């Protein structure tokens, strides 16, 4: 909408404005083109300095594919937290459910070997069912209460997987999960060549992004926004808040299910400690850092945070050891990742609460002061003075409110 | 739906908050096509009564009939509802138990358990969603539960709030489109697949929203944010949003509060125009007596939660009880 406004206001639209207007009108095509460009750019970047100095090209593809899991998770959580405004602190539970679903369908433990692509859908569907099962009785809770409930669910799920050791192998987790069968074009999936995983992940993220954008721009996306802003007013305008919130929850869980299946097939092992609160928290931090409500923003935030967390900090250890400074070599930088998170979040809340790549909407909400500095209408004292005295005989209140404007 | 001459009829409606009786056994009716005002001193229970009608508060006692159907009353046979939820899962569970007794393969039994859980979940979701079909289904078993605010909108009621409750960070146009929510039908599948129906509906809702904005005098403001509108225009936008659901009855809670005489006159004429052009019936809470006496067909006066007078504006103006409520009893 802003893009079209720009086009109208400028006499002859600049190429940039025209591009933005076009992108807004053809969103799905724009996403596909951008993702292809980004994918290609990342393939090239991984082979040239400075990235090629940090680690080998295959290690980068591996990292990108793993980061993609978190990009998916962040995009899914963004629907729940960023669009519908429901704080979900146990999001990793749905990730776990997706992962274990794939583990049961493709492992020596369960003695099954089902095809990957259908299982991707099944895993997502199972996660969605759990999302609905959790949401249906509890979504009438608001704010803090909902957060505590999701926190509890997020704790329960890994504990159940841990303690049902007859069914889940407990702490050891289910290992030796079969990799996806070779796909056309992509070729064989193996530990040695992570490239097919990378391309597959890009495909999943692209599809998810197109679908999520469509949801966001639909009648339902509008309803999510309305609920986030004012639930009572939303209900008083005919929105069934229960089903609408449930749908947000289910879509969030579905996305986590996709991520879970992919993750299990890539790591070839699932165990309860992969899905602890730290994961829920990391994903939430990615959403907040990236810019709640903006799908591209949270995707970029997730990629950035994951790469810093897993690649950069790990390599930093090696690099510092190479320098041979006695004090610094003692430090394991990976141990400090949550410290970094914390500091980053605090700084973010102080200086850029809307996130690195904010949505238009969030920016507006969080920068009210800037807008108030804009044009202010003339104060209308005339209102109270001009009221006809005769009209007041039964306690007229017009003119009491100074917010009234003279037009 | 049978259309009666009265759009809304309230019978002996009482709302208690702990020891406070905010609304006390009020009988009230709104004739079709009329403008009825509800007045009374601050704290008389006007807004509480509004919220009961709109489905936000459950009344402690009494019933409300809207367009000939009882929509709000004491729940009846509510205990039966959760039992109904268990019927379908129960059948599947019994089938599973029978299958295991009959010695069928373990796979079948496990499948049966999964099916039981899924069916249980499906009935739970249907129950909490409470769609129109489900409510008709409940009616067949003599179960009655009061309508929720969104059910009232679907039934044909639109409302505004005393302290404006717009979706501030959404655009003006989006606010009106949210108002249309219950009249649009594209679901999540339409949205995901971007079906022709979804696109056509989005387009037509935009056009309709522009029309409604023009009707309330806000043409050309659609792309701006709701919170950036001047105060008077925010009131107008709230009316446009309420009207967007094609209501039969429009509830306006102090629409001219905080407005100067010019704006008040403009809004008064807008209210009359809404009745004329859209055929609306309007219930108004208002403090500005010029507005009330100018456009109302009937006026009801509340004081301390009780109805103390009802009649044409002229009758109300002369009613000694009303004068006493507003100005106090004459000195002895």
- The string of DSSP letters for A154-186 reads HHHHHHHHHH-HHHH-GGG-B--PPPPPPBTTT
Does residue A374 lie in a domain region?
A: no
- Residue A264 lies in domain: 35-48+57-284
**pLDDT value of position B131:** 85
B233 and B322 fall within a common domain: no
Same domain (yes/no): B150, B63 = yes
Chain A residues in contact with B39 (beta carbon < 8 A): 394
Strand partners, B35: B282
CA closest to A230 among chain B residues: B167
Q: Are residues B331 and B205 in the same domain?
A: no
Q: What is the pLDDT of residue B298?
A: 93
Does the beta carbon of B223 lie under 8 angstroms from any beta carbon of chain A? yes
Total tally of structural domains belonging to chain A: 1
* In a domain? residue A341: no
Q: Which of A236, A253, A366 to mutate to test the interface with B (most CBs of B within 10 A)?
A: A236
State whether B105 and B227 are in the same domain: no
Spans in chain A with pLDDT lower than 50: 1-10, 369-407
CB B227 within 8 A of CB B255: no
Q: Are residues B287 and B152 in the same domain?
A: yes
Which residue stretches of B130-254 are H helix?
132-140, 149-155, 172-179, 188-193, 196-215, 231-243
User: Which residue among B124, B260, B287 sits closest to A382, beta carbon to beta carbon?
Assistant: B260
- 3-class DSSP assignment, residue B19: coil
Are A397 and B153 a contacting pair at CB < 8 A? Answer: no
User: Do the chains contact at B186 and A219, CB–CB below 8 Å?
Assistant: yes
B98 part of a folded domain = yes
Contacts of B170 (CB under 8 A, 6+ apart): A222, A225, A226, A229, A361, B178, B225, B226
Q: What is the mean pLDDT of the segment spanning B60-74?
A: 90
* B99 & B198 share domain: no
Domain of B296: which CATH number? 3.40.50.300
Q: Mutating which of A5, A294, A394, A402 best tests the B interface, going by the most B Cβ atoms within 10 A? A: A394
User: What would the pLDDT profile of B259-301 be if each residue is shown by its tens digit?
Assistant: 889 989 999 999 999 999 999 999 999 988 888 998 999 999 9
| Rounded mean pLDDT, B21-35 | 92
- Give tens-digit pLDDT for A30-79: 889 998 999 888 888 888 877 777 778 888 888 899 999 999 999 999 99
Residue-level pLDDT at A373: 45
The minimal CB distance from B148 to the residues A1, A221, A235 is found for A235
Chain A residue numbers with beta carbons less than 8 Å from the beta carbon of B193 are 214
Task: Please report the residues numbered 191 through 230 in chain A whose beta carbons come closer than 8 angstroms to any beta carbon of chain B.
Answer: 211, 214-215, 217-223, 225-226, 229-230
Question: In whole numbers, what is the pLDDT of chain B averaged over residues?
Answer: 90
Residues contacting B169, CB < 8 A, separation 6+ = A229, A361, A364, A365, B225, B226, B227
Residues B96 and B22 reside in one and the same domain: no
- Look at residue A276 and tell me if it is in a domain: yes
Task: Enumerate the residues of chain B whose CB falls inside 8 A of the CB of residue A405.
Answer: 230-232, 260, 263
| B136, B229 Cβ separation under 8 angstroms | no
Residue A150 CB neighbours (<10 A)? 24
Q: Which residues of B touch A361 (CB under 8 A)?
A: 169-170
Which residues 281-320 of chain B have a CB within 8 Å of chain A? 287-290
- Measured CA to CA in angstroms, residue A283 lies from A74, A129, A279, B13 at distances of 6, 21, 6, 50
- Structural domain that includes position B152: 1-73+146-156+247-257+280-332
Tell which B residues from 155 to 174 touch A, by Cβ distance under 8 Å: 159, 161, 165-171, 174
Q: Does A398 touch chain B (CB under 8 A)?
A: yes
Q: Does B264 map to a domain? A: no
Does one domain contain both B238 and B252? no
Q: Read out DSSP for A101-124?
A: HHHHHEETTTTEE--HHHHHHHHH
- Domain assignment present for residue B263? The answer is no
Predicted confidence at residue A204, as pLDDT, reads 93
**Within a domain: residue B222?**
yes
Cβ-based contacts of A245 with chain B (< 8 Å): none
Rounded to two decimals, the ipTM of the complex is 0.91
B253 and B313 together in one domain: yes
pLDDT of residue B331: 62
Whole-Å CA distances, B82 to A67, A240, A340, B20, B94 = 45, 20, 50, 32, 18
A327 in a structural domain: no
Each residue's pLDDT tens digit, B201-219: 999 999 999 999 999 999 8
Same domain, B21 and B151: yes
Is B66 in a helix, a strand, or coil? strand
What are the tens digits of pLDDT across the range B226-246? 999 999 999 999 999 999 999
pLDDT of residue B330: 66
Give the pLDDT of residue B332: 52
- A389 → chain B, closest CA residue: B290
B60 lies within 8 A of chain A by CB:
no
How many separate domains does chain B show?
3
Same domain for B114 and B182? no
Give a yes or no: residue A220 inside a domain: yes
B196 touches chain A (CB under 8 A): no
Say what the pTM is.
0.86
Record: contact B191-A214, CB cut-off 8 A: yes
Residue B110 lies inside a defined structural domain of this protein: yes
Provide CB contacts within 8 A for A289, sequence distance 6+.
Answer: A301, A304, A305, A344, A345, A348, A355, A356
Rounded to 5°, the CA angle A43-A49-A54 comes to 90
pLDDT band of B322, cuts 50, 70, 90 = confident
A17 in any annotated domain: no
| Residues of A with Cβ-Cβ distance to B182 under 8 angstroms | 237-239
Residue B272 lies in a domain: no
Domain check: are B39 and B88 in the same one?
Answer: no
Are the beta carbons of B257 and A397 separated by less than 8 Å?
yes
- In this prediction, residue A173 carries a pLDDT of 86
B40, part of any domain: yes
| Residues 28 through 87 of chain A touching chain B, CB cutoff 8 Å | 28
- Closest-approach residue (CA) in chain A for B222: A1
**pLDDT of residue B195 exceeding 50:** yes
Question: Would the CB atoms of A219 and B153 count as touching at under 8 Å?
Answer: no
The reported pLDDT for the residue numbered B4 is 67
Q: How many CB pairs under 8 A join A and B?
A: 196
Name the residue in chain A with its Cα closest to that of B174.
A222
Residue B244's alpha-carbon distances to A57, A358, B153, B186, in angstroms, are: 57, 31, 10, 17
């Amino acid at each position: 909408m802003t893009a079209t406004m720009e086009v109208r206001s400028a006499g002859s639209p600049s190429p940039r404005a025209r591009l933005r207007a076009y992108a807004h009108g053809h969103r799905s095509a724009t996403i596909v083109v951008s993702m292809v460009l980004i994918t290609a750019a990342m393939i090239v970047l991984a082979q040239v300095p400075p990235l090629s100095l940090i680690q080998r090209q295959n290690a980068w593809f591996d990292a990108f594919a793993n980061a993609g899991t978190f990009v998916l998770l962040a995009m899914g959580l963004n629907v729940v937290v960023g669009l519908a405004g429901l704080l979900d602190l146990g999001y990793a539970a749905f990730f776990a459910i997706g992962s274990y679903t794939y583990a049961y369908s493709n492992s020596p433990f369960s003695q099954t070997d089902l095809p990957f692509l259908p299982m991707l859908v099944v895993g997502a569907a199972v996660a969605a069912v759990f999302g609905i099962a959790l949401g249906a009785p509890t979504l009438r809770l608001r704010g803090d209460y909902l957060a505590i409930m999701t926190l509890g669910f997020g704790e329960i799920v890994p504990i159940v997987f841990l303690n049902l050791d007859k069914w889940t192998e407990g702490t050891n987790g289910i290992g030796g999960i079969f990799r996806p069968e070779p796909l056309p074009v992509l070729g064989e999936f193996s530990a040695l060549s992570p490239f097919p995983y990378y391309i597959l992940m890009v495909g999943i993220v692209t599809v998810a992004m197109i679908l999520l954008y469509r949801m966001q721009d639909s009648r339902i996306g509008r309803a999510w926004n309305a609920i986030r802003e004012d639930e009572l007013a939303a209900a008083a305008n005919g929105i069934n808040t229960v089903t609408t919130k449930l749908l947000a929850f289910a879509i969030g869980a579905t996305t986590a299910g996709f991520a879970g299946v992919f993750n299990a097939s890539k790591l070839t092992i699932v165990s309860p400690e992969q899905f602890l609160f730290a994961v829920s928290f990391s994903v939430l931090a990615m959403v907040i850092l990236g810019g709640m409500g903006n799908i591209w923003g949270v995707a970029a935030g997730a990629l950035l945070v994951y790469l810093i967390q897993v690649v950069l900090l790990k390599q930093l250890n090696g690099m510092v050891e190479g320098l041979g400074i006695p004090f610094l070599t003692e430090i394991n930088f990976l141990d400090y990742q949550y410290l970094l998170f914390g500091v980053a979040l605090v700084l973010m809340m102080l200086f850029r609460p809307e996130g690195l790549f904010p949505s238009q909407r969030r920016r507006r909400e969080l920068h009210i002061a800037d807008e108030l500095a804009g044009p202010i209408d003339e104060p209308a004292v005339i209102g109270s003075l001009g009221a006809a005295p005769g009209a007041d005989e039964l306690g007229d209140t017009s003119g009491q409110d100074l917010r009234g404007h003279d037009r | 739906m049978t259309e009666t001459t009265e759009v809304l009829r309230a019978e002996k409606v009482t709302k208690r908050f702990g020891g406070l009786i905010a609304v006390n056994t009020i009988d009230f009716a709104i004739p079709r096509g009329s403008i009825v005002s509800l007045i009374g001193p601050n704290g008389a229970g006007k807004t509480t009564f509004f919220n009961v009608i709109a489905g936000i508060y459950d009344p402690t006692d009494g019933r409300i009939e809207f367009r000939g159907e009882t929509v709000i009353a004491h729940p009846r046979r509510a205990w039966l509802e959760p039992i109904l939820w268990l019927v379908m899962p129960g059948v599947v569970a019994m089938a599973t138990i029978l299958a295991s007794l009959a010695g069928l393969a373990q796979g079948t039994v496990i499948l049966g358990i999964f099916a039981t859980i899924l069916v249980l979940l499906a009935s739970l979701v249907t129950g909490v969603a409470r769609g129109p079909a489900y409510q008709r289904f409940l009616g067949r078993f003599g179960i009655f539960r009061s309508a929720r605010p969104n059910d009232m909108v679907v039934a044909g009621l639109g409302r505004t709030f005393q302290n404006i409750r717009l979706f501030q960070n959404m655009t003006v146009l989006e606010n009106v489109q949210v108002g249309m929510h219950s009249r649009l039908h594209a679901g999540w599948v339409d949205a995901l697949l971007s079906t022709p129906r979804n696109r056509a509906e989005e387009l037509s809702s935009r056009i309709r929203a522009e029309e409604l904005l023009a009707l309330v005098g806000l043409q050309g403001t659609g792309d701006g944010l709701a919170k950036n509108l001047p105060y008077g225009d925010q009131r107008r936008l709230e009316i446009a949003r309420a009207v967007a659901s094609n209501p039969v009855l429009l509830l306006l809670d102090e629409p001219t509060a905080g407005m100067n005489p010019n704006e008040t006159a403009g809004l008064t004429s807008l209210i009359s125009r809404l009745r004329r052009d859209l055929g609306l019936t309007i219930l108004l809470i208002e403090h500005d007596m010029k507005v009330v006496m100018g456009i109302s067909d009937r006026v009801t006066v509340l004081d301390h939660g009780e109805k103390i007078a009802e009649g044409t504006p002229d009758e109300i103006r002369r009613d000694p009880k009303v004068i006493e409520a507003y100005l106090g009893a004459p000195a002895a």
